[in-house]
Structure 1
Amino acid sequence: MNELKHLKHLSAVKSNTGIKFLTPAVSPGNHCPMRIASVIVEDIKGLSSLLVGMQEYTTHSRLFSPNPEGKHGELHWLYVLDAQEVVFGCRNSLMGALRKMDKAGAKAILMIVTCVPELIGEDIEGIVHEIQPELSAQVTFVLLGQFKNISYPPGSWKTMEALGVLMKAKKTEPARINILGRSPEEKHIPMPSLLPELVKRSFALRYLAPGASLTDFQSAPDAALNLVVCPFMQPLAVKMEREFSVPYIALHTLYDVKRIHRTYEGIAKHFGFSWDNAFEEERQEALTLQNQAKERLDGLRYVFCLRIDIPIPMAIYLARLGMEPLLLHLEEYYPEDRSYAKELVSMGYNPWICRMVNAEADLLVLEKLAPDLCFGYLSDINKNIPCVLDMFDFYGQVGYGRTSNLLRRILGVLDEVHLRERGNKHGPASI
């Protein structure tokens, strides 16, 4: 298809810059990562922030972060570059701002650096290195120039990774487990069955995500294990393993029933206990649905659209069910996606990779591809492309329950297609 000539296949994509827009139509774009970072910081008790950028950035930030002070004495200040600083840099004045925040009582400061400081080559790392010995507050930073970060996910995962700088090595607590990617009081996402089972076995769970506290993050290296339940937290887990020797297990990328079983058994072996068939009913249910899916999905071709949080690992699972990926929308190419991409390509699949931002124009291309199924969000339900919608419903869920819910949704769409085709073939049912 000529419409896909400008795109790269998965094997040729190595970073975000390799992902092209599916269609050239004009789009207002996505949320700036700066916005996501600012919102996250406000939700971490005890963490202050300094947003550095031009007036339009700082003004925009006050629309969703209107208060310069947090609920618990945090400081959320703005540093506006003037015309001279755009040319000659802001090193001295920026260090002065950090001194003022330190004197005002900030415990730890995250600098959120936007486009212009990066464009002029301001050495933020050098500034932090020079000023840190003078301050009581720890300082870390995240570079979020949108010319390098096309969409919003870096505002989450890079901010979380930057918090690793605030951690210090601690003595390991043998019964302590960090849950990376779930807040302490998260009601809208079902609790994975794994977590209460760990509590039953006397493990202390510390939840690290927006909603946790600065103290929680600073204490995190005392854990015996990190369990990752969302993609935004895996880079932090990698950093903690490298710098503090805290091992991690990524749960959010697991769908295959055997892989989930092996992973759960690995957790039990790591700590020296047995699950005593705690998950057997869940496992059998997921295995039954997976066997049904293999029979019905084998040979079907599909595309990924918007709002799928971990596309490549999910594509690997669908490939194991016999499905062929034609085109994948990737909102973000995470650091760990290189290894996942190699696995999918080694299975004999090398789909086109793109970003979809123009619903009407993109839909015309998808219709030409004529996939059997579409996963994700389509702005206009298209009868020619059966769609498995609301894939963000699975965000933050892990284990057998998520696999079962996903497969039920897919099989439900196939049932709807089957009924529709029967209706078209035999005409309307008589009353």
Structure 2
Amino acid sequence: MKELQHLKKLSAVKSNTAIKFLSPAVSPGCHCPMRMAALTAKDIRGLSSLLVGMPECTTHVRLFNPKPEGKDGELHWLYVLDQHEVVFGCRAGVMDALRKMDQDGAKAILLIATCIPELIGEDMESVIQEVQPELSAPVTHVMLGQFKNFSYPPGYWKTMEALASLMKPQQTNPVQINVLGRSPREKHIPMPSLFPELERRGVSLRYLAPGASLTDFQSAPDAAMNLVVSPYTQPLAVRMEREFRVPFISLHTLFSVEAIDRTYGEIAKQFGFTWGNEFDEERERALSLEEKAAGRLNGLRYIASLRVGMPLALAGYLAGFGMEPLLLHMDEFYPEDKGHAKALLALGHAPYICRMVNLPAEYPILERLAPDICFGYLRPGSETIPNMENMHQLYGKAGYGLTIELLEQTMEVVDKSGISGKGGDVYGTASV
């Protein structure tokens, strides 16, 4: 297909720069990482922010965060660059703004630099180093020029990672776990069965995500372990292991019962106990679904669209059932993706990798690929491609429950659509 000639296959993708947009009809604006950083900062109680950018940046931020003061005394200020600063830099003005925020009671400050500060080479790290001795509030920063960050995820994960700068070494609490990527406010999302069972064993859980407090994050280095349930918090876990020696286990990339068994065993060993029959019913249900999937999904070809958290990890799991990935949308190529890519390539799969940001323009291309099924969001009214669109419902799930939800929904779509056999032509009849 000529529409795919500009894309790279997985074997040639080593970083974000190799991931091309599927269509030249790219929707502007909505994928700016600045927005996600500002939203994340707003939702961490006690954390103030200073966003440095052009008038259009600051105006956009005020649309979804209209108040310069938060509910708990946070300050969310905007620094608008003038013509002189666009050319000669904004060092003095930013330092003055940080001093004023400190005087007005900010407890900690996240400095968010947008495109122009990065383009002119403003060194925000040295700005902070120079002014920090004058301040009571610790300051950290994120650099989010969109020409380096091609979609919104860096606004989230870089902000979460930057919070490690606000932490200090602490004595380890042997029964403390941080759950990275789940908010304490998310009562509407079913709790993975692992977490209450850990609490019954006397382990204390601290949930760290937007919705948590600055104090929670600053206390985090006392944990004996971090459990990661979101790709957006994986970089924070890596940094905490490096700087504070807090080991981590990633749960959001585990799908197979075998991998979950092994990981649960590692967690129990870390805290000096063994599991009983707590997960037997859930585990047997997941095993039964895996057995059915092995016969039902073999040979089916698929694509992964928007709202699939870790598409390479998912592809590696689905390959075990004989499914073939044709094309995968990836908002971000995380460092951990290198391992998942290597595993998928070793199984003989090298799908096209792309970014999708304008589904109305891209859907005809996806149709010509003629996949048997799509994982992830498609445009409303899309009916020609069977679609497991509720991938976002997997958010916050982990362990056997994640496996059950994924396989039940997948086979429901397969059965409802009457998909059978070894899949259709890779590019459909239109490509001949």
The residue aligned with 1:358 is 358
Residue 417 of structure 1 aligns with which residue?
Answer: 417
- The reply to whether residue 61 of structure 1 matches residue 64 of structure 2 is no
Following TM superposition, by how much is the alpha carbon of 1:355 offset from its aligned partner in structure 2, in angstroms?
1.1
Q: Structure 1 residue 149 and structure 2 residue 149: aligned?
A: yes
2:227–2:251 contact (8 Å) kept in structure 1: yes
Q: Alpha-carbon deviations, 1:303-343, whole Å to 9, x = none?
A: 11111111111111111111111100111222221222112
Match of 1:27 in 2: 27
Is the alpha carbon distance of 1:167 and 1:253 closer, same or farther for their aligned partners in structure 2, counting shifts above 3 Å? same
Once residues 312 and 419 of structure 2 are traced to their aligned partners in structure 1, the CA distance between those partners, rounded to angstroms, is: 31
* Residues 69-218 of structure 1 mapped to structure 2, 5 A cutoff: 69-218=69-218
State the distance in 2 between where 1:26 and 1:50 align.
29
| Per-residue deviation, 1:357 | 2.1
2:288 counterpart of 1:288: yes
TM-superposed deviation, 1:255: 0.3
Q: 1:280 to 1:120 in 2, by over 3 A?
A: same
Change (3 A) 1:331 1:271: same
User: Partner letter of residue 139 of structure 1?
Assistant: V
Counting only pairs closer than 5 Å after superposition, residues 309-328 of structure 1 correspond to structure 2 as 309-328=309-328
Quote how far apart the aligned CAs of 1:195 are: 0.4
Alpha-carbon distance between aligned partners in 2 of 1:306 and 1:26, rounded to the nearest angstrom: 14
Higher deviation after alignment, 343-352 or 230-239: 343-352
Q: Give how far 1:359 is off.
A: 2.0
Partner of 1:228: 228
Question: Does the 8 Å CA contact 2:48/2:106 hold for their aligned counterparts?
Answer: yes
Q: Which residue of structure 2 aligns with residue 263 of structure 1?
A: 263
| Partner AA of 2:148 in structure 1 | K
Deviations along 1:21-47, one digit per CA (max 9) or x if unpaired, are 112235335332111111111111111
Q: Deviations over 1:29-88 (max 9, x none)?
A: 533211111111111111111000111111111111111111111111111111001111
Cα distance per residue 1:171-202 (max 9 Å; x no partner): 00000000101111212211000000011011
CA contact (8 A) 2:372 2:419 kept: no
Shift of 1:381: 4.4
Cα offsets for 1:348-378 (capped at 9, x unmatched):
1111001112323322222221111111111
The answer (yes or no) to whether the contact 1:328–1:351 under 8 Å persists in 2 is: yes
Question: 2:245 — aligned with what?
Answer: 245
State the match for 1:424 in structure 2: none
Q: Which residue in 2 is equivalent to 1:299?
A: 299
Residues 68 and 382 of structure 1: CA distance in aligned 2, closer, same or farther (over 3 Å): closer
Letter in 2 for 1:16: N
Per-residue CA distance 1:124-162 (angstroms, 9 max, x = gap): 111111111221110000111111112111111110000
Q: Deviations over 1:255-291 (max 9, x none)?
A: 0010001100110011110111211110010000011
> Counterparts of 1:130 and 1:344 in 2: how far apart (Å)?
47
Q: Which stretches of structure 1, 4 residues or more, deviate above 4 A after TM superposition?
A: 380-383
Partner of 1:427: none
Residue 16 of structure 2 corresponds to: 16
TM-score by length of 2: 0.95
Structure 2: how far apart are the matches of 1:311 and 1:151?
16
Gaps of 5+ in 2: 422-432
8 Å CA contact 1:29, 1:357 repeated in 2? no
Q: Is the 8 A contact 1:140 1:166 kept in 2?
A: yes
**Counterpart residue type for residue 32 of structure 1:** C
Larger displacement relative to structure 2 (194-203 or 367-376): 367-376
AA in 2 matched with 1:243: E
Identity across aligned pairs (percent)?
65
| Residue in structure 2 matched with residue 219 of structure 1 by the alignment | 219
| Letter in structure 2 aligned against 1:162 | A
Deviation, 1:169, is 0.4
Equivalents in 2 of 1:266, 1:350: separation in Å?
A: 32
- Distance verdict in 2 for CA 1:26–1:259, change over 3 Å: closer
Tell me: CA distance 1:299–1:401, structure 2 relative to 1, closer, same or farther (3 Å): same
The verdict on how the C-alpha distance between 1:297 and 1:419 changes in structure 2, with shifts beyond 3 A counting, is: closer
CA distance in 2 between partners of 1:81 and 1:56 (Å): 11
In 1, Cα distance between the equivalents of 2:52 and 2:297? Answer: 50
Change (3 A) 1:226 1:112: same
**Residues 29/320 of structure 1: CA separation in 2 closer, same or farther (3 Å cut):** farther
Count of residues in correspondence between the two structures: 421
Question: What is the TM-score with the length of structure 1 in the denominator?
Answer: 0.95
